[in-house]
Structure 1
């Protein structure tokens, strides 16, 4: 007698299936974000494999948690935290163990049992969730569970849980107009003006900024400019006195060198660029992560310029400049319309490395800053005003998070 595979396989009474695509939000987790009004839905199915069981109650339960687990130097902590540790009577080089967990969300939804084999559902999620992440010292994780219970003499209760990945993108699409910020500065015989995009997507493959300068050539000349990306991993926690940030862990990625043309003047615009490390290499073992913000962790980025000079008389020290930038990615199923043929005559400032460049017009104090846009003249203008949208979870952390004594 032969038995098929199906006859030997016993399926569980309840199976929960969640859409494999990550659920995502557009923009930061604040009420000021205009995209926060768009409701995010988690799709899935609940399968019932035992037709003999009559389920009387079916509940979907979506939960999210954020946690911190780190040994921080006591010298970097507030005095109230250090004094609360009974075993910290050593020197300032001792460390304090900080460990806590907070609940980000706890939402339920009832399903009606219709005696069908499967129930399809769409679960609307809260609009202000931080994205999923797990690092060495912190985590944000979400899960969806279904709890089925039956009544009667042979009552049963079944619970099935699945992890859920939540993503947050700070640019809605590749067609978004990315605004720029203009910076100015003077150091003795060197005057500079820079335009840095507020954000860039990793799909672009590189960061491009515009730089102008004016220099007294009788004294010095610009030799080269080194341009790199720095990633800051900052942990925070809450005490009765408020929110405290630990010193950031800074990762500097390999720099690229730009050598200005031999004959250049102050009216020229120089486009400085550096690649975004997406694949581990010998020069960069670590890859970049996108912008992240949750109750215990912030991952931010900045670009760093080091301008080297050639002096005719005295030695001129290099000038270091740092500018903040949001590095993000696009939502799934979007294509970058600016990845076009670089030989195409109709093209604006592109973020591909072999594209042509344009000269930005001179700016004045009364004129608005020029925007470098990566998609042509007719891209839709979606300005999220990114730097002003800094999510604040201090109120949540203050009420829910405590450092264990």
Structure 2
């Protein structure tokens, strides 16, 4: 036979047929031998046509978000947009600063409301409120490679925050169009911070209060605000015991943090105060022999890692109270007083903030800040004496 003459070995008919699986394996092996990374290659992302850059993604606001705030000023968000492809002739560029407040299903679950009772039960979140939508159109000239901008923001924005019950977030969106079919989009997150004191040189307002409970009389001066940079809140206090053989043994001071959820149900706004978070107490032991004229300084530590600053948003509020407990000798009944305080932080040293007037004057720390039906700060000045 011819194949014997050519030196080709005879083929076994049993090995001439390959199953479909064997054919697939052979094909894959062949492809991998040609280009090993062909089977694992991922498509490269499309080339970006524009670039959005912010000078600083953080916006600093000073004071409460109300009309009475003497330091009320509008912040400016600076940045630039850069055109990466000079072949594209952009005709229109629009900036949109958007903010929203969101209450999660877990937040409503804390209020004892099932998701089926809400109109938002089919969505990822329970209630969504648009805080702002500020638009600005940029002028695009032919051959321009980049545009710098400054966007004025409202002064009453709630700060960026996030808990398991809700959050507030902001973003800046830049949209570009070149004709009817060529469009581009860029987005950057923006962080809004609200500080209730512009710097450490500000004179913090204090309230002097006096009270009497049976045989115990006191006078104290409590600050209306304290900062994390100070590290502590200091209360100056005088007292006198008019009961025989009874003296102040210790004074326990602690910071109490409370989260309040506000939600709407059937056109009614309801507030729910969650159980407070108790921070580590500070124990003050007065000297053995004290005079009613002696001034005692109670120091409450402010630990940033354990405490959130004061936050007021449409759905979530985080507030703080000072809890002062007097313990007496001879098994006399304890006396506890509760006093509200604003815990805040100071702006960064490099932050650019416009402040009207002199920083060294007392500023207004009045509440409420927005439209919530909460008692004003003046209504909370008197301490609550707990029996």
> What TM-score, normalized to structure 1?
0.73
Is the counterpart of residue 85 in structure 1 residue 111 in structure 2? Answer: no
Q: 2:77 aligns with which of 22, 26, 42?
A: 42
The residue aligned with 2:213 is 187
The residue aligned with 1:148 is 176
The residue aligned with 1:374 is none
Is the counterpart of residue 295 in structure 1 residue 331 in structure 2? Answer: no
The residue aligned with 1:13 is 49
The residue aligned with 1:104 is 131
The residue aligned with 1:91 is none
- What is the distance in 1 between the residues matched to 2:223 and 2:52? 43
1:51 shift after superposition: 0.5
- What is the distance in 1 between the residues matched to 2:110 and 2:100? 29
Deviates more, 1:107-116 or 1:233-242: 233-242
Q: 1:307 aligns with which of 326, 348, 372?
A: 326
1:274 shift after superposition: 1.8
1:20 shift after superposition: 3.1
The residue aligned with 1:362 is none
Q: CA RMSD in A?
A: 2.7
Residues 16 and 246 of structure 1: CA distance in aligned 2, closer, same or farther (over 3 Å): same
1:104 shift after superposition: 0.4
Preserved contact between residue 108 and residue 126 of structure 2 (Cα < 8 Å)? no
Q: Work out the number of aligned pairs and report it.
A: 318
Q: 2:248 aligns with which of 210, 217, 222?
A: 222
1:73 shift after superposition: 8.1
Aligned 1:158-237 pairs, distance under 5 A:
158-216=184-242, 218-237=244-263
1:208 shift after superposition: 0.6
**C-alpha deviations, 1:77-122, integer Å up to 9, x for none?**
7xxx78x939xxxxxxxxxx98100100111101111222211111
Aligned 1:65-144 pairs, distance under 5 A:
65-71=100-106, 85=117, 99-114=126-141, 115-144=143-172
- What is the distance in 2 between the residues matched to 1:70 and 1:194? 43
- What is the distance in 1 between the residues matched to 2:350 and 2:320? 24
1:278 shift after superposition: 2.2
List structure 1 segments (4+ residues) > 3 angstroms apart after TM superposition.
8-11, 70-77, 239-242
Residues 16 and 25 of structure 1: CA distance in aligned 2, closer, same or farther (over 3 Å): same
SS of residue matched to 2:136: strand
1:178 shift after superposition: 0.4
Preserved contact between residue 327 and residue 334 of structure 2 (Cα < 8 Å)? yes
- What is the distance in 1 between the residues matched to 2:108 and 2:219? 39
1:218 shift after superposition: 1.9
1:209 shift after superposition: 0.5
Is the counterpart of residue 272 in structure 1 residue 298 in structure 2? Answer: yes
The residue aligned with 1:370 is none
- What is the distance in 2 between the residues matched to 1:380 and 1:167? 19
Residues 109 and 73 of structure 1: CA distance in aligned 2, closer, same or farther (over 3 Å): closer
- What is the distance in 2 between the residues matched to 1:203 and 1:334? 16
Preserved contact between residue 17 and residue 45 of structure 1 (Cα < 8 Å)? yes
SS of residue matched to 1:35: coil
Deviates more, 1:233-242 or 1:261-270: 233-242
- What is the distance in 2 between the residues matched to 1:103 and 1:212? 49
Preserved contact between residue 102 and residue 125 of structure 2 (Cα < 8 Å)? no
Is the counterpart of residue 262 in structure 1 residue 240 in structure 2? Answer: no
Residues 74 and 133 of structure 1: CA distance in aligned 2, closer, same or farther (over 3 Å): closer
Larger Rg, first or second structure (1 or 2):
2
1:191 shift after superposition: 0.6
**C-alpha deviations, 1:35-89, integer Å up to 9, x for none?**
22x2200011101010000100000011000010144688967xxx78x939xxx
- What is the distance in 1 between the residues matched to 2:108 and 2:188? 37
The residue aligned with 2:367 is 389
Residues 71 and 145 of structure 1: CA distance in aligned 2, closer, same or farther (over 3 Å): closer
1:238 shift after superposition: 2.5
Structure 2: gaps of 5 or more residues: 1-43, 119-123, 352-357, 374-387
SS of residue matched to 2:194: strand
- What is the distance in 1 between the residues matched to 2:86 and 2:106? 53
The residue aligned with 1:63 is 98
1:296 shift after superposition: 0.2
SS of residue matched to 2:299: strand
